[in-house]
Structure 1
C-alpha cells in the first residue's frame, strides 16, 4: 500500500471519528425526537463508511459484507423509529 493511500485512510478514519463524536453529542442533547433519530441514522452511516474504509485498508471482502449488513439494519431501524414517532406503535 502506498504512503499516500495509507495517509488518506488514516485521515478519513480520523474525520469519521470526529464526526461521530459530534453526532453522539447531538444524539444526547437533541431537543426533539426527530433530531435523535437522525443522529442515530447518521451514526449507522458513519459505521458503514468506517467499515468500507477498513475493507480498503485490509483488502478484505468481509468488511464490505459487514457494511452491507449495517446499511440494512440502518434502514430497518430508521423506518421503525419513524413509524413509532408518527403513530406511537411499531407493530399494528
Structure 2
C-alpha cells in the first residue's frame, strides 16, 4: 500500500469517528432538548449526519450506489423536518 492510501484510510476513520460523535451528540440533544425547536433541529442534524455517514461509507467501499441513497435520505429528511415544524406551529400537517 502506498502512503496516499494509508493517509486516505486514516482520514476516513477520523471522519467516521467525527460524524458518529456528532450523531450521538444530536441524539442527546433530541432526548434532553429543553424545547420543541431544539428537538426539531436535532432531528434535522441527525438526517444530515446520516447523509454524511452514508457518503463516507460509499467512499470507503468505492461504490457509487450510496450516493443515490443519500439523495433519498436528504429528500426524506427535508420533508420530515418541514412536516414536523408545520405540526408544531399549526397543529396539523395537511390543511
TM-score, structure 2 normalization: 0.93
Distance 1:74 1:17 in 2: 18
Is 1:81 matched up with 2:59? Answer: no
**Secondary structure at the residue paired with 1:41?**
helix
Match of 2:19 among 5, 16, 37: 16
Distance 2:55 2:20 in 1: 14
Question: What CA distance in whole angstroms lies between the structure 2 residues aligned with 1:86 and 1:26?
Answer: 20
Secondary structure, in 3 states, of the residue corresponding to 1:66? helix
Q: RMSD in angstroms over aligned alpha carbons?
A: 1.0
Paired residues for 1:20-31 under 5 Å: 20-31=23-34
Equivalent pairs counted in the alignment come to 92
Structure 1 gaps, min length 5: none
Q: Which runs of 5+ in 2 are unaligned?
A: none
